Amino acid sequence: MATIGGSAPYTVTQRPATVIGVAASPTTTSTTDVDLPDMAVTLTTTGGDLLCLGVCVVGNSTSATGNVYLTLSLDGTQKGMAALATPGIGNWDTVTVHDMLQGVAAGAHTVKLRWHTDGGTAVANGTQRALTVVEIRR
């Protein structure tokens, strides 16, 4: 058992599920969240909490001030706050987003890493992105 942040002990109930980028350098101009290619984890839980960790190296190919946002979703519903970067044209930033999704019912669930931009064309650098989800119980 592990203790997280001084709280009650947690038990990992199954191996972490991790996906990595496959499609090279996907882009989006969407101003609302869309799925980041290859970033979906489907797992069957026993009921408990899901620790979710997403990371992506992002840029913006057409706007010096366009932000790139990453979010997590559980079964199609956004969870937590968006993480953002303002890389500028020709630059790359590493963006991470994480959340502890509490009280997830037993059953099959899908966690996705999603993204959007508020200007220009957001670019994920090559295949440099990953999403890990692990179920833990108190």
Number of DSSP helices (H) and strands (E) in the chain, helices first: 0, 11
What are 123's strand-pairing partners?
27, 59
Q: pTM of this prediction?
A: 0.89
Amino acid at 135: E
In whole angstroms, give the CA distance from residue 25 to residue 8. 41
Helix, strand, coil % over all residues of the chain, rounded to 5: 0, 65, 35
- SS3 of residue 3 by DSSP: strand
Fold of 13-137: Jelly Rolls (2.60.120)
Sketch the domain layout of the chain as residue ranges: 13-137
Question: What pLDDT tens digit does each residue of the chain (138 aa) get?
Answer: 454 555 666 677 778 899 999 999 999 999 999 999 999 999 999 998 999 999 999 999 999 899 999 999 999 999 988 999 999 898 999 999 999 999 999 999 999 999 999 999 999 999 999 999 999 987
